[in-house]
Protein backbone atom coordinates (compact mmCIF):
# COMPACT_ATOMS: atom_id res chain seq x y z
CA UNK A 1 0.00 0.00 0.00
CA UNK A 2 1.93 2.98 -1.29
CA UNK A 3 0.91 6.52 -0.57
CA UNK A 4 1.86 9.60 -2.49
CA UNK A 5 5.19 10.95 -1.25
CA UNK A 6 6.53 7.58 -0.16
CA UNK A 7 8.95 7.11 -3.06
CA UNK A 8 12.57 7.18 -1.96
CA UNK A 9 13.71 8.47 -5.35
CA UNK A 10 12.19 11.85 -4.49
CA UNK A 11 14.22 12.24 -1.33
CA UNK A 12 17.16 14.52 -0.80
CA UNK A 13 20.11 14.18 1.54
CA UNK A 14 20.86 16.58 4.42
CA UNK A 15 22.64 19.00 2.08
CA UNK A 16 19.63 19.24 -0.20
CA UNK A 17 21.37 17.28 -2.94
CA UNK A 18 19.65 14.23 -4.41
CA UNK A 19 21.14 11.01 -3.11
CA UNK A 20 20.94 9.05 -6.34
CA UNK A 21 22.92 6.34 -7.97
CA UNK A 22 22.11 5.28 -11.53
CA UNK A 23 18.75 7.09 -11.49
CA UNK A 24 17.58 5.70 -8.16
CA UNK A 25 17.83 6.84 -4.56
CA UNK A 26 21.06 5.69 -2.99
CA UNK A 27 21.00 3.85 0.31
CA UNK A 28 24.12 5.79 1.36
CA UNK A 29 24.87 9.51 1.52
CA UNK A 30 27.14 10.42 -1.40
CA UNK A 31 29.47 12.55 0.76
CA UNK A 32 29.54 10.90 4.19
CA UNK A 33 28.79 7.30 3.25
CA UNK A 34 26.23 7.16 6.08
CA UNK A 35 22.96 5.23 5.63
CA UNK A 36 20.09 7.30 4.24
CA UNK A 37 17.37 4.88 5.35
CA UNK A 38 16.39 6.95 8.42
CA UNK A 39 15.97 10.07 6.29
CA UNK A 40 13.78 8.18 3.82
CA UNK A 41 11.75 6.58 6.60
CA UNK A 42 11.13 9.93 8.27
CA UNK A 43 9.43 11.07 5.06
CA UNK A 44 7.09 8.11 4.59
CA UNK A 45 3.52 9.35 4.91
CA UNK A 46 2.47 6.15 6.65
CA UNK A 47 5.28 6.56 9.20
CA UNK A 48 4.53 10.24 9.78
CA UNK A 49 0.83 9.53 10.30
CA UNK A 50 1.58 6.73 12.78
CA UNK A 51 4.06 8.88 14.71
CA UNK A 52 1.94 12.06 14.72
CA UNK A 53 0.50 11.50 18.19
CA UNK A 54 3.79 10.27 19.67
CA UNK A 55 2.64 6.71 20.25
CA UNK A 56 2.20 3.61 18.14
CA UNK A 57 -1.09 1.77 18.45
CA UNK A 58 -1.57 -1.93 17.73
CA UNK A 59 -3.50 -1.20 14.52
CA UNK A 60 -0.66 1.01 13.24
CA UNK A 61 1.90 -1.68 13.96
CA UNK A 62 -0.31 -4.26 12.24
CA UNK A 63 -0.65 -2.00 9.19
CA UNK A 64 3.12 -1.56 9.03
CA UNK A 65 3.61 -5.32 9.30
CA UNK A 66 1.11 -5.82 6.47
CA UNK A 67 3.04 -3.41 4.23
CA UNK A 68 6.29 -5.17 5.12
CA UNK A 69 4.90 -8.65 4.42
CA UNK A 70 3.45 -7.46 1.10
CA UNK A 71 6.86 -6.15 0.01
CA UNK A 72 8.68 -9.27 1.22
CA UNK A 73 6.28 -11.48 -0.75
CA UNK A 74 6.70 -9.30 -3.83
CA UNK A 75 10.51 -9.15 -3.74
CA UNK A 76 11.64 -12.51 -2.32
CA UNK A 77 10.63 -14.62 -5.36
CA UNK A 78 12.64 -12.31 -7.64
CA UNK A 79 15.91 -13.06 -5.85
CA UNK A 80 18.35 -15.80 -6.75
CA UNK A 81 19.83 -17.85 -3.90
CA UNK A 82 23.02 -15.78 -3.52
CA UNK A 83 21.25 -12.42 -3.64
CA UNK A 84 18.53 -13.77 -1.33
CA UNK A 85 21.19 -14.58 1.26
CA UNK A 86 22.75 -11.13 0.92
CA UNK A 87 19.41 -9.32 1.16
CA UNK A 88 18.47 -11.44 4.20
CA UNK A 89 21.74 -10.41 5.86
CA UNK A 90 21.08 -6.78 4.88
CA UNK A 91 17.60 -6.84 6.40
CA UNK A 92 18.93 -8.34 9.63
CA UNK A 93 21.77 -5.79 9.86
CA UNK A 94 19.34 -2.96 9.09
CA UNK A 95 16.97 -4.15 11.80
CA UNK A 96 19.83 -4.36 14.32
CA UNK A 97 21.02 -0.89 13.29
CA UNK A 98 17.53 0.58 13.68
CA UNK A 99 17.08 -0.90 17.15
CA UNK A 100 20.55 0.25 18.25
CA UNK A 101 20.00 3.72 16.73
CA UNK A 102 16.68 4.10 18.53
CA UNK A 103 18.13 2.95 21.86
CA UNK A 104 21.05 5.37 21.44
CA UNK A 105 18.70 8.28 20.71
CA UNK A 106 16.53 7.44 23.72
CA UNK A 107 19.60 7.29 25.97
CA UNK A 108 20.89 10.60 24.58
CA UNK A 109 17.52 12.25 25.22
CA UNK A 110 17.53 11.35 28.91
CA UNK A 111 18.53 14.13 31.29
CA UNK A 112 22.13 13.81 32.50
CA UNK A 113 21.12 13.79 36.17
CA UNK A 114 18.91 11.41 38.07
CA UNK A 115 16.25 12.38 40.57
CA UNK A 116 17.28 11.49 44.11
CA UNK A 117 14.21 11.90 46.25
Three-state DSSP at 35 gives strand
Q: Does any domain span residue 53?
A: yes
Q: Does any domain span residue 70?
A: no
Q: What pLDDT shows up at residue 53?
A: 92
- Tens of pLDDT along 46-66? 999 999 998 999 999 999 999
Structural domain for 2, as ranges? 1-58
Q: Does any domain span residue 26?
A: yes
The closest alpha carbon to 38, from 59, 11, 4, 56, belongs to 11
Three-state DSSP at 43 gives coil
Q: Does any domain span residue 2?
A: yes
Q: Does any domain span residue 78?
A: no
- Concatenated DSSP letters for 23-42? TEE-SB-TTT--B-HHHHHT
Q: Does any domain span residue 107?
A: no
The tally of domains found in the chain comes to: 1
Better pLDDT: 9 or 23: 23
Three-state DSSP at 18 gives strand
Q: Does any domain span residue 101?
A: no
* Cα Rg of the chain (Å, integer): 17
Q: Does any domain span residue 91?
A: no
- Tens of pLDDT along 10-44? 444 444 444 444 578 898 999 999 999 888 888 89
**CA dihedral over 101, 102, 103, 105, signed as positive or negative:** positive
Amino acid sequence: MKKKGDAMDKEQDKGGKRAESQGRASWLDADSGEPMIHQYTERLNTFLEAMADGKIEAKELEAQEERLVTLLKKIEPKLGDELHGEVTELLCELTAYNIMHTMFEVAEAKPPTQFRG
